[in-house]
């Protein structure tokens, strides 16, 4: 040994082979414990008395079955069958690449991004008279539900008119769809009404998309009609209006 060397440069080598083997096994065991210690927590998996929690993305390449509640705060990717027998709460993203089949009625319409609320209304009148000035014969109204601003409105009208006079005349009728701030109307068909109890029947209709609506605002469907030459009335006259409203967010 030179003056520049120390005993640490030449550590003592164990001469006992059994002792060396035991030391090697102990070292390997220690390394294995260190490499696997806290492995689940490092992957974001926590096991407590309350259960197991997965705080990161979970990729299930086989079948996934749960008979109790399932709370997942991160992404869930399931490439095979997934069966959840209890409640399931997903706080993060959920991607389904296969077909999603849901029994009818299990999703509330209010939970949809763009729910649709259908509303219908109708009304009839009889025994009315008409003049040469167009007037409302029959009407029906619906109200805009809370949370909705648009409506696909359809008005279906019908009118039967009898002419008891001795002169020929004409019947004009059309459908109106109105709110306090806007008015829409359809075409105005006409029909000749012969003298001596001649009759005519018309079925005007119209459809329009209403926008900028306010909850509680009325939407009125009506049939307006008039004669061509003279005032006419009869107890047999009939008219009806049916309004259909499909409300959107």
Spatial distance between the Cα atoms of 172 and 182, rounded to a whole number of angstroms: 23
CB-based contacts of 141: which residues, under 8 Å, 6+ apart? 121, 218, 219, 220, 221, 243
- 55 in any annotated domain: no
Q: Which stretches within 17-131 are classed as H helix?
A: 17-36, 39-42
- 109 in any annotated domain: no
Q: Find the CATH number of the domain harbouring 208.
A: 2.60.120
Q: How many domains does the chain have?
A: 1
The pLDDT tens digits of the residues spanning 90-143 come to 777 777 777 777 777 677 766 666 689 999 999 999 999 999 999 999 999 999
The pLDDT tens digits of the residues spanning 206-227 come to 999 999 999 999 999 999 999 9
CB-based contacts of 24: which residues, under 8 Å, 6+ apart? none
Q: Which residue range is the domain that position 129 belongs to?
A: 117-248
The pLDDT tens digits of the residues spanning 63-100 come to 766 666 666 666 666 666 667 666 777 777 777 777 77
Return the percentage of the chain with pLDDT > 70, whole number: 69
- 244 in any annotated domain: yes
């Amino acid at each position: 040994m030179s003056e520049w060397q120390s005993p640490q440069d030449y550590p003592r080598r164990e001469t006992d082979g059994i002792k060396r083997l035991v030391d090697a096994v102990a070292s390997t065991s220690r390394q294995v414990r260190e490499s696997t210690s806290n492995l689940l927590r490092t992957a974001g998996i926590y096991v407590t008395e309350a259960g197991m929690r997965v705080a990161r993305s979970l990729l299930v390449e086989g079948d996934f079955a749960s008979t109790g509640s399932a709370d997942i705060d991160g992404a869930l990717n399931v490439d095979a069958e997934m069966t959840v027998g209890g409640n399931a709460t997903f706080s993060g993203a959920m991607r389904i690449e296969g077909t999603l089949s849901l029994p009818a009625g299990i999703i509330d319409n209010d939970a949809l991004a763009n729910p649709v609320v259908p509303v219908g209304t109708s009304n009839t009148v009889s025994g009315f008279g008409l003049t040469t000035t167009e007037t409302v014969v029959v009407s029906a109204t619906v109200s805009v539900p809370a949370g909705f601003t648009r409506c696909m409105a359809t008005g279906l009208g019908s009118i039967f008119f009898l002419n008891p006079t001795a002169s020929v005349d004409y019947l004009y009728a059309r459908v109106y769809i109105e709110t306090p701030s806007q008015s829409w109307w359809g075409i105005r068909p006409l029909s000749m009404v012969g003298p001596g109890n001649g009759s005519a029947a018309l079925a005007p209709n119209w459809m329009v998309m209403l926008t900028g609506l306010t909850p509680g605002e009325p939407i009125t469907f009506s049939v307006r009609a008039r004669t061509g030459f003279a005032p006419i009335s009869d107890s047999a006259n009939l008219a009806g209006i049916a309004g259909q409203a499909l409300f959107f967010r």
